[in-house]
């Protein structure tokens, strides 16, 4: 399986360097000369890093296959992927989004929805869950609320605090924002 680690941005300079949006927590390990990436769209790759350097907070990459600004402009917006088989198998510190998406979400023995995405945030990650009514719920991905992730059996176990799933609805099940708007209109 492939894991996206970056998206190519605009060209930098005239020798084919590009800015990249980094989508990995280990850029020092992923972006080293000689690393080859699978590229989407496929016509733009594969690409092999020839240079990697930081300019302030922006990562600049040079590729062996790209030597001019015009070539760099042609790959703008391309996504860079690595094969997950290349990742260390003993990494128990976290989960990748592709491992979580599609897992059933359970509270006790009751199924309450499924994982649709993982939002990585500066302070903590959020699981994006679609509940059985089709509503999107954001759940802090912390051990107190998500004590078990079982990829093999296809589920995530939650111990949500009271009200987490009812946060944006009132007792009748309608959105509170709509009720607030109607109340203002009546006044």
Q: Could you give the C-alpha distances from 13 to 67, 69, 76, in angstroms and in order?
A: 11, 7, 14
Q: What residue has token string 């949006």?
A: 21
What number is the average pLDDT over the span 42-58?
A: 87
Q: 103 and 82 in one domain?
A: no
Answer whether residue 161 is part of any domain: yes
Answer whether residue 187 is part of any domain: no
- State pLDDT tens for residues 96-129: 777 888 999 998 888 889 999 888 766 778 888 9
What number is the average pLDDT over the span 130-144?
A: 87
- State pLDDT tens for residues 7-39: 899 999 898 899 998 887 778 888 889 989 988
Answer whether residue 22 is part of any domain: yes
Q: 78 and 10 in one domain?
A: yes
Tokens of residue 170, six digits: 């009132």
Domain that holds residue 75: 2-86
The structure's pTM equals: 0.50
């Amino acid at each position: 399986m492939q894991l996206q680690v970056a998206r190519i941005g605009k060209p930098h300079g005239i020798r084919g360097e590009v800015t990249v949006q980094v989508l990995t927590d280990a850029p020092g390990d992923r972006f080293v000369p000689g690393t080859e990436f699978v590229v989407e769209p496929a016509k733009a790759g594969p690409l092999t890093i020839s240079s990697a350097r930081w300019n302030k907070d922006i990562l600049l990459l040079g590729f062996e296959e790209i030597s001019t600004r015009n070539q760099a402009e042609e790959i703008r917006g391309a996504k860079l992927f690595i094969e997950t088989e290349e990742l260390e198998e003993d990494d128990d510190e976290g989960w990748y989004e592709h491992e979580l998406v599609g897992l059933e979400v359970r509270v006790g023995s009751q199924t309450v929805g499924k994982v649709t995405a993982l939002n990585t945030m500066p302070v903590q990650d959020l699981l994006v869950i679609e509940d059985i009514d089709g509503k999107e719920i954001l759940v802090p991905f912390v051990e107190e609320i998500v004590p078990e992730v079982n990829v093999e059996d296809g589920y995530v176990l939650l111990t949500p605090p009271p009200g987490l799933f009812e946060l944006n609805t009132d007792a009748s099940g309608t959105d509170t924002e709509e009720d607030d708007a109607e109340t203002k209109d009546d006044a």
